[in-house]
């Protein structure tokens, strides 16, 4: 095989109101993985010059299965992360403070309050 899985099609839209075919998974050590150019989330526009627009999922799968040894893919790469299962790629940048920034000091204050309360009760 080509070493990747696809999602989408007219009968199984992966993204609402979009009949396109997308790469859902690159199989480790498969042809696509070893080549290194295809990425999860890429939209596949054509296979060996054959347009994938408005195909059912199973018809797109058949095109890939019968693509032959030398396969030419025309793809569209997502440039910006989007919400949803495909295309969300963490850039490592945070849009705000992490939850730990609130939890750690809060837990420390709570522990200190409990310790003070217990010490105060022992003295009474």
Domain boundaries, the chain: 4-76
| Per-residue tens of pLDDT for the chain, all 124 residues | 899 999 999 999 988 899 999 999 999 989 999 999 999 999 999 999 999 999 999 999 999 999 988 899 999 997 655 565 554 444 444 445 455 555 666 667 777 777 777 777 776 6
pTM: 0.62
What CATH class does 4-76 carry? Answer: mainly beta
E-assigned strands of the chain? 4-8, 21-26, 43-47, 50-51, 73-76
């Amino acid at each position: 095989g080509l070493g990747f899985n696809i999602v989408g099609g007219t009968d199984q839209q992966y993204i609402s109101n979009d009949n396109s075919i997308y790469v859902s998974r690159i199989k480790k050590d498969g042809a696509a993985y070893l080549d290194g150019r295809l990425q999860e989330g890429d939209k596949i526009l054509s296979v060996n010059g054959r347009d994938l627009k408005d195909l059912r999922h199973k018809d797109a799968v058949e095109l890939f299965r019968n693509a032959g040894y030398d396969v030419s893919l025309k793809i569209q790469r997502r440039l910006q992360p989007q919400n949803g299962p495909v295309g969300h790629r963490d850039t490592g940048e945070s849009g705000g403070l992490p939850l730990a920034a609130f939890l750690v000091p809060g837990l420390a204050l709570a522990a200190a309050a409990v310790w003070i309360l217990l010490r105060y009760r022992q003295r009474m």
